[in-house]
Amino acid sequence: MRGIAHAGFFVLLWSSLAMGYAAAQPANAGCAASPSATGTQTWRCDNGITIVAESGARFELKDANRDGHIDSVELSSKALLVEVRKKPGGNPFKVLTPQAIAAVRGTKWAVDVAEAKTSVFVADGRVGVSRRSRGRGVVLGPGQGVDVEATGPLTVKTWGQPRVDALMARLGQ
């Protein structure tokens, strides 16, 4: 995982045919954006969350409890790299994709959404993953991943380093 600090990052990636643009609600979520040399855009939020958006990513920052700080992201296309610092006793930060909900209090992990499947990989820490529809979820640890499709079991697997490196490269990491 070249160049990624050990703090607590996760990546969300949705590949789709439609090209989009970065879309968020920073005024309502306590976040400010700045462009980078790699073509990505970085959002820094006043609650310590940092989001790096791939060029063309479409997402919405959410403040479900209306406290002025983001507590989730709804991703609809392309990729996000998110740093979430561990908070004792706090509500988990959630990432919602069409197929999955992944919740974490602070860790390093990846979510890859393509067509009708979301794949989640954990580099460090633990992440709970379930379908957006009801059903039994799984908890992933370091080096583990799961593919979430509309049906079938959630089977925990190991991701190879080439797959992880390819995903990080799309985000300039």
Q: What burial class does residue 73 get, using C-beta atoms within 10 Å of its C-beta: 0-12 exposed, 13-18 middle, 19+ buried?
A: buried
Averaged pLDDT, 117-131: 85
Averaged pLDDT, 82-91: 74
pLDDT given at position 157: 93
d(CA 73, CA 157): 25
Q: Residue 42 above 80 pLDDT?
A: yes
Q: Residue 19 above 70 pLDDT?
A: no
**Architecture per CATH, 9-170:** Sandwich (2.60)
pLDDT given at position 139: 93
Enter the tokens of residue 12.
């969300």
Q: Residue 16 above 60 pLDDT?
A: no
Check if the beta carbon of residue 140 is closer than 8 Å to that of residue 148.
no
Closest CA to 11 of 58, 72, 52: 52
